[in-house]
Amino acid sequence: MLETAITVRDNVDEAAIELVALGRWTRQVGVDLMAAVRRTLAQRPRAVLLDVSRVVGAEPTLAATIRLAEEQHAALRPPVPLMIVASEPQARRLRRSGAARRIPVHRTRAAALAELAGAPPLLQRARLHLQPSPLAAAEARNLIGDTCLAWNLGPLLHPARLIVSEFAANAIEHAGTPFTVTMTHRRADLLHLAVEDGHAQLPHLRRRLNDPDDPDAPLAFRGNGLRLVAKAATAWGSAQTATGKVVWATLSTGDPDRAQP
């Protein structure tokens, strides 16, 4: 039996994110799955679908993991809908434990997506497909600026332009593939930004440029972009997709605190 793998599927058209676990359940898998749930919920998607139906040996401890996921989901304002896809033995355990009391449990992915079809729609969405050209970052910034004004999100215009500019520049330089900029109005005060490209390597924060232990610090004028993103965004992160990765950030006019994933 293969070790359990957790796959993230970003369903951009539905603004839903699917977490799919395959293989044999271990305690570490539960820890990794919860970390994936936290990162996913931070994106404020329309819904999160957690599929554990093909995991072997999860029944004894799955309920505890689902309860933790439910606590994370309920802590958001407004909460992000969370749906579970589970086998029949798993579903029975979840019902007996009470873990399925507030989270719908479905036997199939199709059933979960059918329920999602009845959920409230997103407010608005804009998307732009770009080639990795020198002008692409400017085109992405223009999309963000024009759309923020059209959606009456003026207070978020400048931080949104900064964030997407950094994401687009990284996609051009490091991925070198066509990329897609998606801008989604989740609710009245919440904006979600995402850039998806064809390179699987995830971005990471570099050491501060003023680090006295970094001998190259005086010359390292680049690489601070993600620190600016972390400062500007309410939350940000990244996840691998089937064809590369998606890097995302959320901005809120009603939340002055800035949090990193």
State how far the Cα of 92 lies from the Cα of 90, in Å rounded to an integer. Answer: 5
For residue 261, being part of any structural domain is answered with no
Report the pLDDT value the prediction gives residue 180, as an integer from 0 to 100. 94
Residues 173 and 112 in one domain: no
Same domain, 184 and 238: yes
CATH number of the domain bearing residue 218: 3.30.565.10
The domain containing residue 66 runs over which residues?
5-116
Identity of residue 229: V
- Of the residues 116, 140, 166, the one at which a domain ends: 116
Q: Does a structural domain hold residue 64?
A: yes
Distance CA 234, CA 160 (A): 11
- Residue pLDDT, tens place only, 38-97: 777 766 677 889 999 988 887 678 888 888 888 877 776 667 788 899 999 888 888 888
Per-residue pLDDT tens for 55-64? Answer: 888 767 888 8
> Which residue has better confidence, 150 or 216?
150
Burial letters for 61-88: b for 16+ Cβ neighbours within 10 Å, e otherwise? ebbebbbbbbebbeeeeeebbbbbbbbe
**pLDDT, tens digit, 9 for 90 and up, residues 122-174:** 668 888 999 999 899 999 999 999 999 999 899 999 999 999 999 999 999 99
Q: Among 116, 150, 167, give the residue marking a domain's end.
A: 116
What is the count of structural domains for the chain?
2
Distances (CA, A) of 82 to 8, 124, 259: 15, 21, 22
Give 215 or 187, the one with higher predicted confidence.
187
Residues 213 and 143 in one domain: yes
**pLDDT over 80 (residue 25):** yes
